[in-house]
Amino acid sequence: MLEKAALTVLFLITFCLSTAVSEDQEFWRNKGISEINDALNIKHNTNVAKNVIVFIGDGMSLSTTTSSRIYSKGEAGFLTWEKFDNVGLLKTYSNDKYVPDSSCTATALFCGMKTNFKTTGVDASVQLNDCEASLIPEKRTSSIFSWAMESGRSTGFVTTTTVTHATPSALYVHTANRNWECEANIPANSKQCKDIARQLVEDLPGRNIKVIMGGGRQMLQSNSSEKPNDPLDRGACIRSDGRDLIEVWKKDKEDRKVPYAVVSNNAELNGMDESSEYLLGIFANGHLQKEFEKDEGPQGMPSLKTMTEKAIKTLQKNKDGFILMVEGGLIDKAHHSGNARQALDETRAFDDAVESALSLVDTKDTLIIVTSDHSHGMTFVGHLDRNQSIFGSVSTNIGNKTPYTSLLYVLGGDKNFQYEAKNGSVVRRDPTQDQTDAFEYSQQAGFHDDEGKHSGEDVLVYATGPMAHLVHSVREQTFVAYLISYAAKIGPAKDIKSDAASRYSACCMFLVLPVLFLLNTCLK
């Protein structure tokens, strides 16, 4: 709690300092010249990427990034990845939808293939729920993890969701429905298909992944126990077939005689045997708690920053390098429930993880990519004063003149759709009656639905390290997989030569051949 109180004080100090700067003409001239010099001094890193770390802020829209920057750094500050030299845009549509979900976008990011809504690790010929088609080898996609393993690199992922959830699953699974996280969700006529949890533990590349951390015990162990601070997720899959896949995972490592660690809380993670080559951390029945809810004590759940640090240190044991995926998955969950402060706080925690990773690796040989899988329907509107909280309210000059919060949702559930009867008519609730900066506050929404929904605009992608300069312009989301392939010399793009290099080679041959001919003639 002391750490969280200190964070609040730091936020207030940063905010005050950022708004107290005298931003006169000289200030902006100096800033502009400094930024031009920064741009002129950018140098391309053309090294091979020994390591790659991909950070996915699930549902992290541009509005989320901007408002999170103000929330945690002040508008004059920067989130860690906003200082990367290379920025581009990714188109997030799926094969069959303008607005995607996290499974088809993860397949695009990690496998380089657009696929259908709610399917994972299969191509676009596999329709949702078509188990039989998903079993056909030719319809299954390979991922950056498979490519990395073929080159001798280690792989790992950490997430604040379940380890079988949409985003991480695209690294190792082939399924016609992202919700088949355990056997209980698979229909009777599709039981020939393995659930996602079994594919992670039993199949390749899943069982060779060196680091796996997140939630999802109830998908891995039958009849998982429930605790007050770790309830079962009744809206998700709960395994009941008698299998204990954590024990299956352990036995596999014992049979192979490789050192491993299985951990379930802060104390076990911090006290793990540092010689372990394989690490399985399952910290919750369902998703992990959000940062503001976490118990930081020994029995609590680790932060995304801590998991990222442990993952990197474990994977760095391989001299050939590694590929790591880090997901801030609860940004999306907070947006779905219409809790803007929770979403911004999860983005702050995501930023902490990126900053920590940068301190542990060398970008001379490590490519770091930060992006989102899709956007969300939170918008940042109104002429909010810079001395106000990002969660503040804005006055309006029309209608009933009821203020509105600067952060709003297009769609929202019951708590977000805030209208009430007053003087014989239905009016929007005045947000100044509520504590709009509270973690539990639900920002107002324009339209009523069961929850907040994804949106279809492009997402930003940031990069630093080897071949990061290739990130620019507007690209398909699949570009990320091929960038990793090319930069790390793994997978289908590892042997690509640029057109410029090909032209240079052709030119050299054009010049060299006549010289060789003349030399040969003279020697005769």
* CATH number of 118's domain: 3.40.720.10
Binding residues for Zn(2+): 58, 332, 336, 373-374, 454
Instruction: Collect all residues with Cβ–Cβ distance below 8 Å to 22 and sequence separation of at least 6.
Output: none
53, β-bridge pairs? 324, 368
Per the domain annotation, does 33 fall within a domain? no
The whole-number pLDDT of residue 343 equals 98
φ/ψ of 491, rounded to 5, equals 70, -160
In a domain, 46, yes or no: yes
Residue 27: inside a domain? no
Q: Is the pLDDT of residue 18 over 50?
A: no
Write down the residue that tokens 């052709």 correspond to.
Answer: 506
Query: Ramachandran region of residue 506, left (φ > 0), alpha (ψ -120 to 50) or beta?
Result: alpha
Give the model's confidence band at 83: pLDDT under 50 very low, under 70 low, under 90 confident, else very high: very high
Average pLDDT over residues 31-41: 88
Do residues 209 and 263 both lie within one domain? yes
What's the pLDDT at 81? 98
How much is the mean pLDDT over the chain?
92
Q: How far apart are CA 318 and CA 277, in angstroms?
A: 9
Comparing C-alpha atoms, which of 193, 231, 228, 199 is closest to residue 215?
231
Range with lowest mean pLDDT among 107-121, 278-292, 407-421: 407-421
314 and 424 fall within a common domain: no
* Residue pLDDT, tens place only, 375-392: 999 999 999 999 899 999
Please identify which residue in the block is written with the tokens 């309830």: 231
408: number of CA atoms within 13 Å, CB side? 18
Domain that holds residue 426: 393-447
On whether both 512 and 474 belong to a single domain, the answer is: no
Bind-site residues: 58, 165, 167, 327, 332, 336, 373-374, 454
* DSSP summary character for residue 230: B
pTM: 0.91
Q: What is the percent of the chain with per-residue pLDDT over 90, rounded to a whole number?
A: 82
Tell me the one-letter amino acid at 340.
A
Residues 300 and 441 in one domain: no
For tokens 């992990």, name the residue.
Answer: 288
| Number of continuous H segments (helices) and E segments (strands) in the chain | 16, 19
For residue 517, the model assigns a pLDDT of 54
Question: Where in the sequence numbering do the catalytic residues fall?
Answer: 102
**Quick check: is 360 in a domain?**
yes
Residue 6 belongs to some domain of the structure: no
Clarify whether residues 321 and 202 are in a common domain: yes
Domain count, the chain: 3
Rounded to 10 degrees, the C-alpha dihedral 247/250/256/258 comes to -170
For residue 11, tell me if it sits in a domain.
no
Q: Is the pLDDT of residue 311 over 50?
A: yes
- The set of residues, in sequence order, having a beta carbon less than 8 Å from that of 444 and lying 6+ positions away, is 404, 405, 408, 409, 412, 416, 417, 418, 428, 429, 431
State whether 298 and 443 are in the same domain.
no
Query: Does one domain contain both 407 and 362?
Result: no
Does any domain span residue 288? yes
- Quick: pLDDT tens for 489-518: 999 999 998 655 445 444 544 555 555 555
Q: Are 270 and 224 members of one domain?
A: yes
Q: Give residues with Cβ within 8 angstroms of 49, minimum separation 6.
A: 321, 365, 366, 367, 465, 466, 467, 484, 487, 488, 489
Are 351 and 429 part of one and the same domain? no
In a domain, 59, yes or no: yes
403 and 486 fall within a common domain: no
The pLDDT score that the predictor gives to residue 504 is: 46
Given this model, what pLDDT does residue 518 score?
55
Range list of H helices, 164-298:
166-169, 196-202, 217-220, 245-255, 266-270
Handedness of CA 193, 196, 197, 198 (dihedral sign): positive
Helices (H), 214-292: 217-220, 245-255, 266-270
Name residue 203's amino acid: D
Is the same domain home to 419 and 299?
no
Can you give the length of the chain in residues? 524
Burial class (CB in 10 A: 0-12, 13-18, 19+), 498: exposed
331 plus 308 within the same structural domain: yes
